[in-house]
Chain A
């Protein structure tokens, strides 16, 4: 049982390049989330997926797109990377859309640098 896995662990992009961050969970969770964390700050929600087939914007969705490929996988795409998107990206999952509380399980993160 690996929990939440993310690939890649590290990535360097040039401005304008595109890439997709992958996330998978093996806990049979319905809901999945993407956050970004800038140095010295807390996490900010980018997008979330309440269940397979649905996605919604979070606090900072501009410049990103997501795909809930199936129940296990939730990807985050940067179509045209900008230096302001340099950050650590965390994927998380939960059994449901946290209606019984706020318990999420986080992946190890992807450290992205945009030059």
Chain B
């Protein structure tokens, strides 16, 4: 399973765009890149998923360069309620679904 590396923490202010980058140098051909969000005392929640190029939904955008060795989660105009831990996962789920969540990135949004 491809290992991921993310910053431990980031600080931002309300209304700013936040970009969190995840490195996954050993990503395999069949692997997808998925981001989850976790608030304190809650289970993780799916944010966005992609395989290559750019994916956008109502919550975030995911940018994946051609070599797929990294990806960037972009949160437009963050608010205080976006303060959470963000996890980057890489894998295809096949062969046992041994999903591994790293420590994630703690995003703190300030007013």
CA distance A33 to B98 in the complex (A): 10
Q: Is the interface of B mostly helix, strand, loop or mixed?
A: loop
Residue tally, chain B, CB below 8 Å to A: 24
Could you give, for residues 1-24 of chain A, a 1 whenever the CB lies within 8 Å of some chain B CB and a 0 otherwise?
000100000000000000000000
CA distance A43 to B94 in the complex (A): 19
B72 at the interface (CB under 8 A from A): no
A92:B43 contact, CB within 8 angstroms: yes
- A90's nearest neighbour on chain B, judged by CB, is B43
CA distance A97 to B93 in the complex (A): 6
B87 at the interface (CB under 8 A from A): yes
- B95's nearest neighbour on chain A, judged by CB, is A97
CA distance A92 to B44 in the complex (A): 9
A99:B44 contact, CB within 8 angstroms: no
Q: Given A42-B103, A102-B34, A102-B89: A31 and B43 within 8 A (CB)?
A: no
B46:A104 contact, CB within 8 angstroms: yes
> What bracket does the count of chain A residues touching chain B fall in?
20 to 34
Q: Given A41-B103, A103-B49, A109-B43: A56 and B34 within 8 A (CB)?
A: no
CB distance from B48 to the nearest CB of A (A): 10
Interface residues of B in 75-98 (CB under 8 A from A): 87, 89, 91-94, 96-98
B100 at the interface (CB under 8 A from A): yes
B57 at the interface (CB under 8 A from A): no
CA distance A17 to B104 in the complex (A): 33
Could you give, for residues 43-54 of chain A, a 1 whenever the CB lies within 8 Å of some chain B CB and a 0 otherwise?
111001010000
- B34's nearest neighbour on chain A, judged by CB, is A102
Q: Which residues of B contact A (CB under 8 A)?
A: 32, 34, 41-46, 49, 87, 89, 91-94, 96-104
